[in-house]
Amino acid sequence: MSEEDQKARIKNSFLRAHTQAVKGCGRKFCLNPHCASFSEYKSLDPNQAAAKIISLLQSAPNGDIEASSKFILCPEISPKTSIENVKAASSDDIRNLFQDLKIFGLNFVSNGLLASKSASIDWDELNNFFGFISNLVQQGILAADWLYQAIKHYPQDSYSNLYIPRITLMLLFMPELSEIENYNILVELAKLLCSSEEFLTQFSYYIDELNQEKLQSLLWNVKQFLLIKILDGYKGNKSQILYVIRLTEALYNSNERVKRVNYSEFYNDAVNIEEKNEENEQEFEEWKEEEGKIDIKEEYEIFLNLIEQGYDKNDPNLFSFAFYPWVLDANTKSTFLQYENKYKMLREIHDPINLFLIGIYSILDVRRENLIEDTLNQLLSGAINLRKPIKVRFLGEEGIDAGGVKKEFFQLIVKKLFDPSFSMFNLYEPQRIYWFNPDTLEHKLNFELIGVILGLAIYNGVILDIQMPLAVYKKLLGIPTTIDDLKELDPELVKQFELMLKTEENVEEIYCRNFTLETKMFDQVIVHELKENGSKITVTNENRQEFVDLYVDWWLNKGISEIFEAFKLGFLKVCEGDVIHWFKPKELELLICGNPILDFYELEKIAKYEGFTRNSKTIAMFWEIVHSFTEDEKRKFLKFVTGSDRAPINGLGTIEFVIAKNGEDSDRLMTAHTCFNHLLLPEYTNKETMKKLVLLAIENSEGFGLR
C-alpha cells in the first residue's frame, strides 16, 4: 500500500471512529463500549470525541486506529445481518451468513438498547429462528455440522469477542445441543467461552437474567454431558470435562448471586458415587478401570499437589474435581475431609512407621461422674492427637470400644454441655433450638471443648443429637448472618421488627424503644447498649432500620463474640484446612447432626440377614410393622438400633444394617448392638405379639438424646 493510500485509510478510520463516538454505528443493538449506540456509553460532543481519538492515534501503531488495542471500531453495517433479511436470503447467502455467528449476537433483542450486564433476549423470536435453522438443515441448505464449523472458526478479533458470551448463551438453548451426538458442539462452545476469564464473567452475569425454568433446563443439559463423559472414561475426557465444568461454574456463580435453584442441583451423580469399602473393593477397582470412576483419594492428592505448586485453571492436565466443590455432595466432601485429616496427621508424624508404633487410635479415658473435666483436660491439653480416630474408656468399667462406647460418650457429653442449667446455651421453645448464652459465667474453655467435640464427631463418624440454628454453621464457615437467622431463633421478635419497619405511624410513640436490648440472668435483667449512649437514643422512623440491624448483629455476633470465637477455635483445631470451607452451612449441619429425613424403605433395601432370609415370615412381618410406625416411633426405633435418631448425610440407604436371628419364638424383647447397627430379633411368629414387643423395647430403652 502506497503512503498516500495509507494516509487515506487512516483518515477514513479516524472519521469512522469519530462518527461512531458521536452518533453511534447505527445498529439497533451494540455491545461496543466505544460506540454511542452502546447503552452505557458516556456521550461526547464532537470536540471531546476528536480529542479522545487523536490521543488514541498517538499510541496506535503508525497512527492506525484499527490497530489500536484501546479503541474498538465497529464494522460497517451489512443489511443482510438482520433476521428478516437472513430469512429472505438466497441459499448461497444463507451459507455465508451462518459462517458468522454474530447474526445471533446482533439480533433477538427484546427491549431495544440494553445495559451491558443484561442479556434481554427475545426467547420466542430465538426459538422460532431455531426452527427455521432446523428446516434449513433438513433441506440440505445448511450442512449438518454448520454450527460446529462456525464455532471452530469464530474470529478472535476485539469486536467479535464482545459478543461471545451472548452468542454462547443463546446457542446453548438450541434443541440439538441436548442430543448426545451433538455434545462435540457443546464442548467447542464451552471452549470458546473459556478462552477468556472476561467471557466467563460476562456470561455468568447474563445468566442472572434467566428465570428458574431456563436455568434448570441449561443446568440439566450440562450435568447430563458431565455425567456421560465421566462414566465414559474420566481421564480420557479431562479436557472436555474441564471446559464444560467451567461453563457450569458460571451458572453456579450466577445462582449464588440470584437464587433460583437449590445448591444441591449442581451435585453430579457420577462424581458422588460411594467410595470403595472392603466388600466392594474388587468391584470398585474394576469399575474405576473400565468406566472411569472417580477416585476421591487420587483427586485429593492432585488437589494437594497443585495447591502447593500453583496451577492453571485452563490446563486439563491439572484438573481435579476438588477445585469445583459445588459438584460434590456433603457425603463426598466428608470423604475429602477424612483424607485431608489423614494427610495432615502423616505430615505431623513424618514417618508412617511411627504412626504404627504410637498407635492408630487416640484413647480417651474418662469417669462418668467427672465427664466434662476429664474430657477437657485431655482434649485441650495436647495429650491426645485430635486428628486420630478416638476410642473411649469409661474408667472402672469393663468393655471394649467397638463404636458403641464412643457413641454413648458423645451423647453424654453433649447432653451435659447443652443442658440449660449449665448456662452455656439457652433453649428456645417451641423450636427446641439451642443458642449461645451471652450472659454465661462459664469459662471460654468449655466452649472451645464443644467446638472440639463437633470436630471430633465429624472425623469419627458420630451423629450428634443437638439442635442449633443454621447461623452457627454459617459463622463457622465465615458466612455473614442476617435477620433470617434471628427469625429461626425468635420468629415472633422478627415479626415485630418487620412491622416496625413497615409501619407509617410514629415508631417513637408506638414502640417507646431506645438503642438497648435486655437479657436475663438468674431472673436479673441486664441492659446492653447497641451503640454508644444507646440508652439515651430513641428509636424513630428515621433510625429504625439502624436499630434493627444493630439488634440482630448484637444477638448473632457482637453479644457472643468471645465465646463463639472460643467455640470456633476448638472446631478448627480438628477441622482446620481447605476442605471444611467447601461445605454449605446446611451440609455442615447434616455432617454433624445427620439427616432428619428417614426413609425406612431404603433401610429395608440394604438390610442384611443372619439366620433369616429376606423372604422369611418373621422378616416380612417385621418390615410391615416398622413401616406402620409413626414418625416418633421410627425415630425411637432408629435410636434403639444405631444410637441416633437421625440418618447419615445421604440417608438410611448408606448405613450397614444387619438383622440377626436371636432364638426361636418367645416373649423376649429384641436387643441391639448399636456399635455395629445389629438388631437381634427373636423368630416371632405372631404379628400382633411382635408389634407389642418391638414397641415395648424401643419405648423402654435408655437413651442419651437431648430431645
Query: Taking residues 365-393, what's their average pLDDT?
Result: 86
Give the model's pLDDT for residue 434.
93
Closest CA to 167 of 198, 189, 196: 189
Give the model's pLDDT for residue 29.
82
Strand positions, DSSP E, 256-384: 362-366
1-15, 80-94, 549-563: least confident range: 1-15
Specify the CATH number for the domain of residue 667.
Answer: 3.30.2410.10
113 or 167, higher pLDDT: 167
25-29, 224-228, 489-493, 561-565: least confident range: 25-29
Map residue 119 onto helix, strand or coil: coil
Cβ count within 10 A of residue 448? 22
pLDDT in tens, 292-335: 467 888 888 888 888 877 777 777 777 889 999 999 998 889 88
Do the bridges between strand 390-394 and strand 362-366 make them parallel or antiparallel, or are there none, so unpaired?
parallel
User: Could you tell me if 660 and 575 lie in one domain?
Assistant: no
Give the model's pLDDT for residue 287.
40
User: Could you tell me if 102 and 42 lie in one domain?
Assistant: no
> Of 328, 348, 374, at which residue does a domain stop?
328
How buried is 168 (Cβ within 10 angstroms: 0-12 exposed, 13-18 middle, 19+ buried)? Answer: buried
Domain membership of residue 72 (yes or no) is no
Give the model's pLDDT for residue 351.
52
Mean pLDDT of the chain, nearest integer: 85
Which percentage of the chain shows pLDDT scores above 70?
Answer: 89
Query: Taking residues 34-61, what's their average pLDDT?
Result: 78
For residue 361, pLDDT over 70 is answered with yes
Contacts 24+ apart (CB under 8 A), 370-378: 371/412, 371/413, 371/416, 372/413, 372/416, 372/417, 372/446, 372/449, 375/413, 375/449, 375/453, 376/445, 376/446, 376/449
Tell me the backbone φ, ψ of residue 450, rounded to 5 degrees. -60, -40
- 348, 387 in Cβ contact below 8 A? yes
Closest CA to 313 of 323, 327, 302: 323
Give the model's pLDDT for residue 348.
62
151 or 19, higher pLDDT: 151
Query: Taking residues 667-677, what's their average pLDDT?
Result: 85
For residue 195, pLDDT over 80 is answered with yes
Domain membership of residue 527 (yes or no) is no
| Cell numbers for 393 | 474408656
User: Could you tell me if 271 and 232 lie in one domain?
Assistant: yes
Cα(650)–Cα(489) distance, integer angstroms:
27
684 or 237, higher pLDDT: 684
In the numeric block, the cell 492428592 is attached to: 301
Domain membership of residue 536 (yes or no) is no
Cα(238)–Cα(422) distance, integer angstroms:
55
User: Could you tell me if 315 and 455 lie in one domain?
Assistant: no
| Cell numbers for 98 | 451462518
User: Could you tell me if 106 and 53 lie in one domain?
Assistant: no
For residue 508, pLDDT over 50 is answered with yes
Give the model's pLDDT for residue 703.
39
> Of 293, 328, 363, at which residue does a domain stop?
328
For residue 356, pLDDT over 60 is answered with no
Cα angle at 474 between 410 and 531, to 5 degrees? 115
Domain hosting 190: range is 79-328
Map residue 686 onto helix, strand or coil: coil
Domain membership of residue 707 (yes or no) is no
Cα(491)–Cα(475) distance, integer angstroms:
20
For residue 144, pLDDT over 60 is answered with yes
Contacts 24+ apart (CB under 8 A), 692-697: 693/667, 693/668, 693/669, 694/622, 694/625, 694/626, 694/637, 694/670, 695/633, 696/669, 697/640, 697/669, 697/670, 697/671
Give the model's pLDDT for residue 701.
64
Query: Taking residues 252-268, what's their average pLDDT?
Result: 95
In the numeric block, the cell 497443585 is attached to: 306
318 or 47, higher pLDDT: 47
User: Could you tell me if 610 and 572 lie in one domain?
Assistant: no
Give the model's pLDDT for residue 358.
53
Tell me the backbone φ, ψ of residue 516, rounded to 5 degrees. -140, 165
30, 35, 512, 675: the active-site residue: 675
Query: Taking residues 552-578, what's their average pLDDT?
Result: 94
Closest CA to 694 of 628, 625, 592, 646: 625
> Of 535, 567, 593, at which residue does a domain stop?
593
Contacts 24+ apart (CB under 8 A), 547-553: 547/513, 547/515, 548/483, 548/497, 548/500, 548/501, 550/515, 551/497, 551/517, 552/481, 552/482, 552/483, 552/486
User: Could you tell me if 258 and 362 lie in one domain?
Assistant: no
Domain membership of residue 514 (yes or no) is no
For residue 80, pLDDT over 80 is answered with no
Q: Please state whether the peptide bond connecting residue 165 to the residue before it is cis, i.e. omega within 30 degrees of 0.
A: no
Give the model's pLDDT for residue 273.
65
Domain membership of residue 539 (yes or no) is no
For residue 357, pLDDT over 50 is answered with no
What pairs with residue 671 in β-bridges?
680
User: Could you tell me if 238 and 320 lie in one domain?
Assistant: yes
83 or 526, higher pLDDT: 526
- 697, 670 in Cβ contact below 8 A? yes
Give the model's pLDDT for residue 288.
43
User: Could you tell me if 118 and 228 lie in one domain?
Assistant: yes
Map residue 117 onto helix, strand or coil: coil
Give the model's pLDDT for residue 99.
87
CB contact set of 422 (below 8 Å; sequence gap of 6+): 416, 442
Residue 30 CA: distances (Å) to CA of 38, 112, 196, 408, 632: 5, 10, 20, 68, 62
For residue 2, pLDDT over 80 is answered with no
Confidence of residue 704 (pLDDT cuts 50, 70, 90): very low
User: Could you tell me if 140 and 21 lie in one domain?
Assistant: no
Query: Taking residues 435-463, what's their average pLDDT?
Result: 91
User: Could you tell me if 304 and 416 lie in one domain?
Assistant: no
| Cell numbers for 589 | 449441619
Rg (C-alpha) for the chain, rounded Å, is 33
Specify the CATH number for the domain of residue 387.
Answer: 3.90.1750.10
User: Could you tell me if 213 and 283 lie in one domain?
Assistant: yes
User: Does the active-site annotation cover 74?
Assistant: no
Residue type at position 219: L
Cα(656)–Cα(654) distance, integer angstroms:
7
Domain membership of residue 526 (yes or no) is no
| Cell numbers for 545 | 432500620
Confidence of residue 509 (pLDDT cuts 50, 70, 90): very high
Structurally, the chain folds into a number of domains equal to 4
Max Cα distance, the chain (Å): 111
Domain membership of residue 531 (yes or no) is no
Query: Taking residues 99-123, what's their average pLDDT?
Result: 73
Give the model's pLDDT for residue 163.
92
Contacts 24+ apart (CB under 8 A), 187-191: 187/240, 187/243, 187/244, 188/148, 188/151, 188/152, 189/151, 189/247, 190/243, 190/244, 190/246, 190/247, 191/243
